[in-house]
Amino acid sequence: MEQKTVLITGASRGIGAACARRFAGSGYRVALNYCRSEEAAQALAEELRLAGGTVELFQADMRDTGQVTHMVDNVLDKFCQLDILVCNAGIARQQLFTDISDQDWRDLFNVNVDGTFRCCRAVLPHFIHRKAGRIITLSSIWGITGGSCEVAYSATKAAIIGLTKALAKEVGPSGITVNCVAPGVIDTDMNGALTAEDLEALRLETPLERIGRPEDVAECVYFLASEGAGFLTGQVLSPNGGILI
Ligand code: NAP
């Protein structure tokens, strides 16, 4: 079988790193994007190469159109082909709605929504030319149901669902699928500010009685990129342990 190439944004840590491990472990060539966590990204690339994986690092800030375009051009130069884009890079912020500054609001949209838009726009000419390609975006349960003290984050994650559905309709005739993964509470740095009591309360609220692992999300992303998901597009898959049904 022809080796496929996946570009994963924000793959230096957390869910993105778990996705990189999942794809590399299954023989995909992995283009691993990071922004600030160079050491972590290099350590991950080294780990995957030692296990026999084909991995290249691409530094780019999702807030910068030039850097995103350059990253996609470099991935195509290096691997000649791109099959899957995982728009995972994201930031979160917990604050009262009335405390959100214009800058806070813009920062969250710039990384989460505009970054996803920039990546999709940069890879699509290649996907359309090939009449093939898979795009997987990352939303959140808060983008579906709304999270108190996370209004800006929830709004960005709801926007990503809208982007996913509309883009799926537009590029479906070109043989491209666009789907979204909307995780529940996952044990990563993003939830580092939660206290042990907060996490325990969330665990008890979850029918499956545990906090999610990055691997739970990576499995969904991997499935949406697989042959078996070929007739799925514009869908939202939510690995959340039942906290949102
Ligand atoms: P994380 O552990 O905080 O990691 C965030 C990743 O995003 C890092 O690799 C970081 O790269 C990258 N990133 C941040 N700003 C960036 C920028 N401007 N340009 C490029 N990369 C940037 O977060 P996570 O929990 O793995 O979250 C990954 C995705 O899942 C996010 O979209 C998040 O919203 C979503 N999600 C998470 C949860 C959860 O409970 N954890 C739940 C639902 C959805 P560097 O460190 O290299 O800068």
The DSSP line for 111-161 is: IIIIHHHHHHHHHHHHHHHHT-EEEEEE--HHHHH--TT-HHHHHHHHHHH
Ligand 1 neighbourhood includes 136 CB (under 6 angstroms): no
User: Is 153 tagged catalytic?
Assistant: yes
How remote is the C-alpha of 53 from its chain's centroid?
A: 20
Calculate what percentage of the chain has a pLDDT beyond 70: 100
Structure confidence at residue 2 (pLDDT)? 81
- The verdict on the CB of residue 58 being under 6 Å from ligand 1 is no
pLDDT of residue 179: 99
Distance between Cα 1 and ligand 1 center (Å): 32
SS3 state of residue 16: helix
Nearest partner of 120 among 34, 179, 78, judged by Cα:
179
Supply the residue whose CA is at minimum distance from atom 2 of ligand 1.
Answer: 14
Q: Which tokens belong to 236? A: 């939202």
Residue 216 CA to ligand 1 centre (angstroms): 15
209-237 confidence digits (pLDDT tens): 999 999 999 999 999 999 999 999 999 99
Query: How far does the centroid of ligand 1 lie from the alpha carbon of residue 9, in Å?
Result: 9
Distance (angstroms) between ligand 1 centre and the Cα of 8 equals: 11
* CB 14 near ligand 1, within 6 Å: yes
- Structure token pair of residue 196: 């042990």
C-alpha distances (whole Å) from 35 to each of 23, 61, 89, 170, 213 are 20, 5, 9, 30, 22
Domains of the chain by residue range = 5-237
User: What's the average model confidence in pLDDT over 162-168?
Assistant: 99
pLDDT at residue 183, rounded to an integer: 98
Please give the CATH number for the structural domain made up of 5-237. Answer: 3.40.50.720
Q: Which of 5, 35, 49 has the alpha carbon at shortest distance from 23?
A: 5
Cβ of 215 closer than 6 Å to ligand 1, yes or no, is: no
Say what the pLDDT of residue 181 is: 99
In short, whether 153's Cβ falls inside 6 Å of ligand 1 is no
Does the pLDDT at position 1 exceed 70?
no
Query: Which has the closest alpha carbon to 88: 6, 174, 27, 185?
Result: 6
